[in-house]
Amino acid sequence: MRKRPKRLRKGDTIGIIAPASPPNLEQLKRSLSFLEELGLSYRMGKSIENVYGYLAGTDEERLEDLHEMFADPNIAGIICAGGGYGSGRYTDKIDFQLMNECPKIFWGYSDITFLHTAMNLYSDIITFHGPMLASDVGKSSFEELSKKMFLQLFQPMELHYTEAVSPLTQVSSGIARGELTGGNLSLLASGIGTKYEIDTKGKLLLIEDIGEEPYRVDGMLNQLRQAGKLDAAAGFVIGDFLDADPKKRKVSLSLEEVFNHYLGNLGKPAVKGFKIGHCQPHFAVPLGADAQLDADNLSLVILPGVE
């Protein structure tokens, strides 16, 4: 069983880091009142205000922030300010033993998927795929359900996703249990062939993305297929694919046809429509936690991510 990080308590201090691109500082500032509402204090990483091209500081600076936040016993959890690009540039230098010895809440999504996958592989800890401070929390569009998802950090709770949250569609029938893994499809595909290649064996694979046309999603799913990742998985949780309408190609397959082609004939449960990803509301989930996907009754149940 994976290590579950300790739950948060009011008065705890959260570390805020920018592992990839520079965050929108105005939106980050607006998000801080939400942390205060939760009863949390916060400490900014040194690279939060750094700008190094499309990165929030050099690889060394961003890596140092990550290591310092995990090593500091006064930091109870880490929430990413935003994603963008760059998390994969220093993954081979991460001290995974430090994370294994000092497990704590690590929360983010999008480009942060590369870090989630690496930590799940080499630190054996549960991490959290959820909305980030500058990218989501600091925007006026941040919804109430997205706020409530942070409560899973304060109390071990089973998460239940049904059509009460959003309409769901069966792509393939069946019921499967296994660890929930995955995240942003682009980042999962970019890890194939590296030592941070996602392990899907017997697991429920979550996929989501933004701004990727059907032919691009097709290519990434084909890469996972040819790497054996789809055959190995127990089932598929298809999250939000925002802004996926064809633009470059006048004639296109639909995203539904792409999902049906790759996931509809594997004899494994697959359900689409989950509001997980670049969307509002954003249903935050613990990666590495045990879960059950019931494609016949259109439900997903996930065990608690904290202890």
* Other CB atoms within 10 A of residue 154 CB: 16
Instruction: Please identify, in words, the CATH class of the domain defined by 13-153.
Output: alpha beta
Collapsing DSSP to helix, strand or coil, 291 comes out as: strand
> Which residues have a catalytic role annotated?
110, 208, 278
Across 165-303, where does the E strand assignment appear? 169-172, 175-184, 204-210, 235-242, 270-272, 285-287, 290-294, 299-302
Provide the pLDDT for residue 167. Answer: 98
Q: Name the CATH superfamily housing domain 159-302.
A: LD-carboxypeptidase A C-terminal domain-like (3.50.30.60)
- Rounded to whole angstroms, the Cα distance separating 115 from 108 reads 9
- Res. 285: pLDDT tops 80: yes
- Rounded to whole angstroms, the Cα distance separating 10 from 5 reads 16
* 288 Cβ contact list (under 8 Å, min separation 6): 2, 120, 125, 126, 127, 179, 180, 181, 305
pLDDT grade, residue 1 (50/70/90)?
A: confident
Provide the pLDDT for residue 173. Answer: 98
pLDDT grade, residue 168 (50/70/90)?
A: very high
Give me the mean pLDDT over the 175-180 stretch. Answer: 98
- Res. 250: pLDDT tops 80: no
Provide the pLDDT for residue 121. Answer: 96
Do the domains at 13-153 and 159-302 have one common CATH topology? no
Provide the pLDDT for residue 247. Answer: 85
Residue 211 to residues 25, 241, 244, Cα–Cα distance (Å): 23, 8, 5
Q: Are 199 and 138 in contact (CB under 8 A)?
A: no
- Rounded to whole angstroms, the Cα distance separating 262 from 247 reads 22
Give me the mean pLDDT over the 120-148 stretch. Answer: 97
pLDDT grade, residue 260 (50/70/90)?
A: very high
* 250 Cβ contact list (under 8 Å, min separation 6): none
- Res. 249: pLDDT tops 80: no
- Res. 210: pLDDT tops 80: yes
Give residue-wise pLDDT tens across range 45-95.
999 999 999 999 999 999 999 999 999 999 999 999 999 999 999 999 999
Q: What are the φ/ψ torsions at residue 282 (nearest 5 degrees)?
A: -115, 110
- Rounded to whole angstroms, the Cα distance separating 8 from 261 reads 42
Provide the pLDDT for residue 12. Answer: 98
Residue 167, preceding peptide bond in cis (omega within 30° of 0): no
Domain ranges of the chain: 13-153, 159-302
